[in-house]
Amino acid sequence: MLASLSPEIRQYLLVTGNYWAFTLTDGALRMLVVLHFHQLGYSPLEIALLFLFYEIFGVITNLVGGWLGARLGLNRTMNIGLILQVVALSMLLVPAAMLTVPWVMAAQALSGIAKDLNKMSAKSSIKLLVPDGQGGALYRWVAVLTGSKNALKGAGFFLGGALLMWLGFAGAVGSMAVALLLVWMASMVLLKKDLGRAKNRIKFSEIFSKSRAVNVLSAARLFLFGARDVWFVVALPVFLASQFDWDHWQVGGFLALWVIGYGGVQSVAPRITGRANGFLPDGRTAFGWALALTLIPALIALALTANIAPQWSLLGGLLLFGVLFAINSSLHSYLIVSYAQREGVSLDVGFYYMANAMGRLVGTVLSGWVYQIAGLTACLWISALFLALATVIALGLPRRSD
C-alpha cells in the first residue's frame, strides 16, 4: 500500500512516523524524570534545574541545527537526533547512586539536542513536500504533524507514569532506548537522502534570520511558550501531587489527557480558524487568538486566590487554556513554515524554534523557582504577563493587506 503512494506522501509519512516515535519517548522521559526525582525528595527548583541543559542546548541546537540541515540535509539531522536520544536514554541506565544532578543534566542536554534536531528537521521538511502556492494544504499538513506530535507527547506522559510503576525507572528507560534504536535503523534506510539540503553553500553567519516577519513571529513564540511552561512544566505536576494528593497515575494520566486533547485541537485548528472557508491566517488572526488566551491564566489565578472551588477552577481553566493555546501554537507553526524561504528552509525554521526553546528555558526555570518561593498563583500571573507581551508583539506580524 505504501508503494502506491506518491514519493512526497511516502516521505511525509516516514518523517511523521519518525517524529511520532521520538516524541513518545521524549514525553515519557520528561514525566519519568519529574515523578522519579520528586519521589526521591528533590525540591521543585532542583527538578527544574534537571531540565536546564535540556532547554539551553535546545536553544543552541535550533540556531545551529538549521544551518546543519541546510548543509547536510534534513534526513541526516533527523537521524542524528534519533541516535543522540538513544545515547541520552542509555546514560540514565547507570546505577542509582550515579544518577546525580550533574549526570542527569548532561543526559538531558543530549536529549535537548536530539529533540530539537528531530523537530526542526520534521517541520522544515513539510515546506519542501508541499508545492508552492498551496497554502491551504501546507496549513493542513503542518497542523496534522504538530497536533499528532503533541497528542503522542501526551501519551508519552501517561506512558512515563505507567512504566515507572510497572518497570521502575531503569526498566522504563531501557525499554524506550531499545525501541528508539529500532526506529533509527529503519529511518537510516528509508528516509530520502539530501532532503532539504541547500543547493548553494550556506555560510554560518546566515543562521540569524534576515526576515522581519520571522523575527517578529519568533519573539511572539518565545513569550507564548514561556507562558505555558512557567506553570505547566514543574509547578503544575508538583502542585497536583502535593496539594491534591494525586498519585503518579493520576498526575501522569491527567497531564497525558490534557496534552492529547491539546494535540487534537491543533490538528483541527485550520477548521476552527476558517481554512475550510478559504481563509488563511495572518498577523491579525494571531493577535486575536493570543488576546483571548491571555485572560485564562489571570482568571485561574483570581479563582485560586479567592479559594473558589480550587480543584475545579484549576482543572477547568487548564482545559480551556489547552484549547486556546493549541490554536495559537498551530497558527504560529503554519505562519513560520509559510514565511520561511524554500531554499535553506531549515535556517528560518531553526531560528524560530530557537526562540521557542528560549521561551521553554525561561518558563522551565521560572516554573521551579517561582513555585518554590511564591506558589502556583504567582506562576499564573507571570504566564498572563508573558501572554500579554506575545499579544502586543503579534501586532507587528504581516497582514494580507500588507
Q: Is residue 63 part of a domain?
A: yes
Residue 315: give its domain's CATH number.
1.20.1250.20
Higher-pLDDT residue of 346, 161: 161
Those residues whose C-beta lies under 8 Å from the C-beta of residue 231, and which sit 6 or more positions away, are 297, 367, 371, 376, 379, 380, 382, 383
Q: What is the 3-state secondary structure (H, E, C) of 72-121?
A: HCHHHHHHHHHHHHHHHHHHCCCCHHHCCHHHHHHHHHHHHHHHHHHHHH
Indicate whether 23 belongs to any domain. yes
Q: 30 lies in a domain?
A: yes
- pTM metric for this prediction: 0.75
Q: Residue 270, CB half-sphere, CA atoms under 13 Å: how many?
A: 22
pLDDT averaged over every residue in the chain: 81
At 54 the pLDDT is: 80
- Per residue in 271-301, pLDDT (tens digit) is 787 655 556 778 888 999 999 999 999 999 9
For 42, the domain range is 2-195+208-394
Does residue 402 fall inside a structural domain? no
Q: Which of 285, 312, 314, 282 shows the shortest CA–CA distance to 301?
A: 314
Domain-located, residue 400: no
Residue recorded with cell 521502575: 168
Question: Is residue 209's pLDDT more than 80?
Answer: no
The span from the CA of 299 to the CA of 388, in Å, is 14
In this structure, is residue 248 part of a structural domain? yes
Q: Is the dihedral of CA 399, 217, 341, 189 positive or negative?
A: negative
Q: What is the pLDDT of residue 181?
A: 92
Q: Mean of the pLDDT values across residues 157-170?
A: 82
pLDDT in the model for residue 53: 81
Whether 105 shows a pLDDT value over 70: the answer reads yes
* Per-residue pLDDT tens over the stretch 355-391: 888 898 899 889 888 998 999 999 999 999 999 999 9
Sign (positive/negative) of CA torsion 301, 306, 310, 312? negative
Structurally, the chain folds into a number of domains equal to 1
Look at residue 320 in the predicted model and tell me its pLDDT: 94
Residue 216, in any domain of the structure: yes
Say if 277 falls within a structural domain. yes
